[in-house]
Structure 1
Amino acid sequence: MVHSRMAGVRTAWRVVDDGDFFCVSCGGDRCYRRLNGRRRLTLLGLPVLPRGAAEPVVECVACRGRFPLGALNQPTTTRLTALLRDGVHSITLALLATGDNAAANAATRRTAVEAVRAAGFADCTEERLLTLQAALAADSPAQLDREVREALSALTPHLASPGRESLLLHGARIALSDGPYRTSELAMLSVIGEALSLGPADTERLLATAALSA
């Protein structure tokens, strides 16, 4: 048996990519290096025989922690903030477009603009929001449903249940700002709930709770 100090397996790493990612060890956005590796049998510290490729890894430049490539699937804090902002924007426009002239109601316009500004679009105005609403209102219901699902598809997998419920309640507040739910609004809120991976029973419960507190 060859003594472990004389022989072993070492991995030679090579940087093949870099960028930003969310480091779970640091708890925030950091720079990363993607590394590919080749393993070699060493004797007395010298490489003598190749042992094949090592699993590629992601290395945090800050803490030097190494993680599977799946770590890159987690959005950065910056990216997640943008996805949330776009999700609120899409839900707001969808409710305005299906609200049966709800966009003409002053309370609805005010609620919609305040929500979109709070989400990160600080320069949002009623005029800009209603221009976008008018364009969406020309779409067929099926096309509008598809656009809402696509807008939320990138965000939903990265939100825990409370976050997804909060987005549905945001839509409920828009719908309720000018009175009880309309049939078209309930239909759109059901689509939003499904796109957020909320079960029908949970969607109904949340909408009922929002109506009681409106």
Structure 2
Amino acid sequence: MLFFLIWGWKVRFKTLSTGVFFCPRCGGDRPYELRLAKRWFHLYYIPLIPAKELGRQVKCGVCNTSFTEAALARPTSGQLSSLLIDAARGVVVHVLRAGSTESPVARQAAVAEIVRAGLPNYADADLTADLGVVPGDLSQLLGTLGQQLADTGKEALVGGAARVALADGPLTDLERQVLVSTGASIGMTATHTAGVISLAEQSARA
């Protein structure tokens, strides 16, 4: 009588959490599972003894691709949109503070830029509220955003702020300083930022 002993090692996964992340392969927001991989000793295909943890991985619920846990550090499209809106509101407030917070044309331009950034119901009253609460240091917000934005997104942010600053006349030194600082905070070179500002000035003079 033959007797076969079937044993070996098998990797099993335990789901630690679920959520939504930006899948690098799908190129969009997708459901995910954060899973812990562990090697088990099995006998007759029955896992009996846990042997070793192999680490965590993020599995996309759509394409089934697995990534390192670092994939969760990237904001989703929704989170990125919120970051961009917050940055636009903050930079516009800084530009107005550097110029004139009471100029009607500058305020109108500021509201238009925030609407363009993704807040269709934003109004002058909201701008007044923002002027009272936006902090003086946006470097952390802008730095986080700059890691995710393509060059076109960075140009749009600086260009929009420049249009607000130029709405009531040529740039003041303080307004230009805000624009330059914004560009640096989101990872633009000084030359790149200067080029975006120059295009906005040319458009304002046309």
Q: Shared fold by TM > 0.5?
A: yes
State the distance in 1 between where 2:50 and 2:121 align.
Answer: 59
CA RMSD across the alignment: 2.2
Identity level (%): 28
Q: Which residue of 2 aligns with 1:40?
A: 40
1:183 and 1:39 mapped to 2: Cα distance? 63
- Per the alignment, residue 19 of structure 2 pairs with 19
User: In structure 1, the residue corresponding to 2:122 is in which secondary structure?
Assistant: coil
Query: TM-score scaled to structure 2, two decimals?
Result: 0.86
Q: In the alignment, which residue of structure 2 is the partner of 1:123?
A: 121
- Structure 1, unmatched stretches of 5+, are 1-5, 137-142
The alignment partner of 1:155 has SS state of helix
- The 8 Å contact of residues 97 and 134 in structure 1, kept in 2 or not, is answered as no
Whether contact under 8 Å (1:90, 1:151) holds in the other structure is no
Segments of 5+ residues of structure 2 without an aligned counterpart are 1-5
Q: CA deviation at 1:17?
A: 0.9
Distance (whole Å) between structure 2 residues aligned to residue 25 and residue 194 of structure 1: 30
- CA–CA distance in 1 between the matches of 2:23 and 2:193? 33
Decide whether aligned partners of structure 1 residues 50 and 183 sit closer, same or farther in structure 2, where only a CA change above 3 A counts.
same
Q: Secondary structure of the equivalent of 2:34?
A: strand
CA gap 1:92/1:33 in 2 versus in 1, 3 angstroms: same
Give 1:175's aligned residue.
165
SS at match of 1:22: strand
- CA-to-aligned-CA distance 1:167-204 (integer Å, 9 cap, x gap): 11111111111111001101111211111111222222
Q: 1:21 to 1:47 in 2, by over 3 A?
A: same
Equivalent residues in 2 for 1:1-214, closer than 5 Å? 9-42=9-42, 45-47=45-47, 50-99=50-99, 101=100, 103-133=101-131, 144=136, 146=137, 148-214=138-204
2:3 matched residue in structure 1: none
8 Å contact kept, 2:161–2:179: yes
- 1:37–1:53 contact (8 Å) kept in structure 2: yes
Answer whether contact 1:60 1:66 (CA < 8 A) is retained: yes
Tell me the TM-score normalised to structure 1 length. 0.83
Question: Closer, same or farther in 2 for the Cα pair 1:126/1:53, shift >3 Å?
Answer: same
Counterpart-to-counterpart distance in 2, 1:179 and 1:8: 77
Assess if the C-alpha contact under 8 Å between 2:11 and 2:39 holds in 1.
yes
Q: How many correspondences in the alignment?
A: 199
Cα distance in 2 for residues equivalent to 1:171 and 1:209: 12
8 Å contact kept, 1:190–1:203: yes
Equivalent residue letter for 2:68 = P
